[in-house]
Amino acid sequence: MSGTELMHSKKRPSLVDAKMDWSLVNRFPSIDKIRFCNSGTEANILATCLGLAFTRRKKVLGFNNGYHGAFTHFGSAGNSLNIPFEYAVGQYNVTSPNDRLLSEDIGVIILEPMQGAGGMLPASKGFLQWARHAADRIGAVLVFDELITSRLHIGGLQTHFDVYPDLTTLGKYVGGGFGFGACGGRADIMALLNPGGLFHSGTYNNDTFTMAAGVEAGKLLTRDKIAKANDLGDILRDGINIIAKRYE
């Protein structure tokens, strides 16, 4: 086909895309703009690349036992498949010992407000505050990986703790269980993806089925239903602890 004939390309944004966008921007106070992709792994890669591009730096600070997808995790055995960024790895849930790792070549600080693969270990508010202050002090972009934790509060654990990142990543439950990821945050950082800026593309990044599933799933995940699920979780945990104490 010549340039004057028919052209075949990916679909343009649709109304259901806009509904999905609107629902998440309104749900998470730290998200001004958002981009969709196909998995949590992709979302965390996009967030990391955006943060490094925005700061024009090369180094990423993560934390021991953090898991941010197939190509970015910091288990005790390491991961030979990690994307070859330059990494520093701090201690999760501690503050002062991590100060020695802070340097002006760190462009991104990435963490989970509760580690999932690391053992369902919740962060303390003090640790999250330290991360926020550390990022501000050295001029780094703070990324909260809320793929799991965003279902624990209608606004994610960032809202629960009242500590907000520069970028937030979300995963498949937000897309109704379909292949889904999202990265959103500050408008000035997300503006790097504006036309003429950084290139971010993908055939299924905002496919209509996933967007529609996400919109409908979002209607089911109300503040009251999240509270009920958390209450049931407390009951289950307390019951398990009672049984465990019998066999100490």
Which residues are the active-site residues? 67, 145, 172
Helix axes 208-220, 15-27, angle to 10 degrees: 40
**Torsion region of 230: left, alpha or beta (phi above 0 gives left; psi -120 to 50 gives alpha):** alpha
Sign of dihedral through CA atoms 209, 210, 214, 217? positive
> At 41, which amino acid appears?
T
CB count, 10 Å around CB of 39?
A: 17
Q: In the numeric block, which tokens belong to residue 175?
A: 């897309």
For the chain, first and last CA: distance in Å?
75
